């Protein structure tokens, strides 16, 4: 079934691992052979890092494909996909590389597999430069499931920077097709809740301090809502290494979800971590969109595959979202239109509608 190779320049736009994730997922789904060149060319450590490599190997295994040039530091790979199958698959970054990014690349593929899949993803669950696993479960999951699929995410062990060592088991059943989504009605904020955690040797007081500082910060702007942030000491047998962080979610009357999150680093006081997460959440609530800045790009591939027209309302369109759109158009031939929102209440804000005519991908196995 191999046609001409799709050629992808890995150095343009976002220029990082995301190009690799989007293009290999679409290549796998559409059965299109792929070559990606100049991988992460402009980064301080160019080429494939361990987490990118484990993501690629996982996609290869999902479809019994062929992968060439895939080693640490490599700036060019070729991938020839075969038929996507279900079953049990393991990907281990062997670092604090994010399990959430492994999930991003594999999730669209396993939806179109021949049978149910169980993905054992190992690495960092709460790691820098990636969504925290709590974000994936609390925000991404309920919104992504609007496309008409269900998945289960079982957090076995949490792992933090720099050691990783976390494990998440994701179970997914295949679908015949994805439904388009229409997320354009923001509603009003009905509740705010969250989770502040410490793991390993860090004192519980750190979790309480992060939560308290976050609540104080939110109170300044949103006075009439109870903010329920739980402080959690991760159980010793369910966390590897030391870490602390916080995630805060705002839910609206129409079921939209927004988040702000932050991870502790050595030498950064707990209040500052809490305030950073709160400020991120408030910024995401100001722009009038129905999704936060981190969900934008994660929905693009699903919109591209869905059967019909999807619309989401966003704040400023992120470089990650623009990159995902570019490759969804180039590889999957989906059609996207990004335009300024014309609603009166959005007139003074930086609010956009991302519209996509999906390709109506059908699962050949069902």
Q: Which two tokens stand for residue 354?
A: 């991302």
CA–CA distance from 259 to each of 130, 191, 248 (Å)? Answer: 13, 12, 6
296 appears as a binding residue in the annotation = yes
132 is in an annotated binding site: no
Looking at 52, 89, 120, 320, which residue is catalytic?
A: 320
Query: What is the rounded CA–CA span in Å between residue 63 and residue 321?
Result: 26
Q: Are 322 and 16 in contact (CB under 8 A)?
A: no
Which two tokens mark 199? 């793991």
Q: What three-state secondary structure class fits 342? A: coil
Positive or negative CA dihedral for 93, 86, 145, 80? positive
- CB neighbours (10 Å) of residue 242? 16
Q: To which residue do tokens 């590889």 refer? A: 331
- Sequence-distant (≥ 6) Cβ neighbours of residue 331 within 8 angstroms: 6, 8, 22, 23, 26, 27, 30, 32, 34
State yes or no: 37 annotated in a binding site: no
**H or E element, residue 51:** helix 50-62
Question: The tokens 């180039």 sit on which residue?
Answer: 330
Q: What is the CB neighbour count within 10 angstroms for residue 63? A: 21
The reply, when asked if residue 294 is annotated as ligand binding, is yes
Distance CA 22, CA 131 (A): 16
Q: Is 104 annotated as a binding residue?
A: yes
- Is 322 annotated among the ligand-binding residues? no
Is 320 an annotated catalytic residue? yes
| Distant-in-sequence contacts of 278-284, Cβ < 8 A, 24+ apart | 278/213, 278/214, 278/215, 278/217, 278/218, 278/248, 279/217, 281/192, 281/218, 281/248, 281/249, 281/250, 282/217, 282/218, 282/221, 282/222, 284/250, 284/258, 284/259, 284/260, 284/315
Bind-site residues for ATP: 104, 294-298
Bind-site residues: 104, 294-298
Catalytic residues: 320
């Amino acid at each position: 079934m191999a046609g001409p190779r799709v050629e992808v320049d890995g150095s343009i736009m976002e220029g990082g691992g995301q190009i690799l994730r989007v293009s290999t997922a679409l290549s796998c789904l559409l059965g299109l052979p792929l070559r990606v060149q100049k991988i992460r060319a402009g980064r301080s450590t160019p080429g494939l890092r361990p987490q990118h490599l484990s993501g690629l190997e996982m996609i290869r295994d999902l479809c019994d494909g062929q992968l060439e040039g895939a080693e640490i530091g490599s700036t060019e790979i070729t991938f020839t996909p075969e038929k996507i199958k279900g079953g049990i698959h393991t990907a281990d970054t062997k670092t604090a590389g994010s399990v959430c990014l492994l999930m991003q690349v594999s999730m669209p593929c396993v939806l179109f597999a021949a049978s149910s899949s169980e993905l054992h993803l190992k690495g960092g669950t709460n790691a820098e430069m990636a969504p925290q696993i709590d974000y994936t479960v609390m925000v991404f999951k309920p919104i992504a499931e609007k496309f008409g699929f269900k998945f289960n995410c079982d957090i076995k062990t949490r792992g933090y920077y720099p050691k990783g060592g976390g494990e998440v088991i994701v179970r997914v059943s295949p679908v015949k097709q994805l439904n388009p989504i229409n997320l354009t009605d923001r509603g009003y904020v009905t509740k705010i809740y969250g989770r502040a955690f410490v793991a390993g040797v860090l004192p519980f007081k750190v979790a309480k301090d992060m939560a308290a500082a976050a609540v104080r910060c939110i109170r300044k702007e949103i006075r009439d809502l109870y903010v329920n942030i739980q402080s959690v000491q991760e159980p010793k047998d369910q966390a590897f290494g030391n870490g602390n962080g916080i995630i805060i979610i705002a839910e609206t009357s129409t079921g939209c979800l927004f988040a702000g999150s932050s991870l502790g680093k050595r030498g950064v006081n707990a209040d500052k971590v809490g305030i950073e997460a709160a400020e991120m959440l408030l910024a995401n609530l100001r722009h009038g969109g129905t999704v936060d800045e981190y969900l934008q790009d994660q929905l693009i591939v699903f919109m591209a595959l869905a059967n019909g027209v999807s619309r989401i309302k966003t704040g400023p369109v992120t470089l990650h979202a623009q990159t995902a759109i570019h490759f969804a158009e180039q590889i999957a031939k989906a059609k996207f239109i990004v335009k300024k929102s014309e609603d009166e209440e959005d007139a003074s804000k930086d609010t956009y509608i991302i519209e996509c005519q999906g390709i109506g991908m059908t699962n050949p196995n069902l």
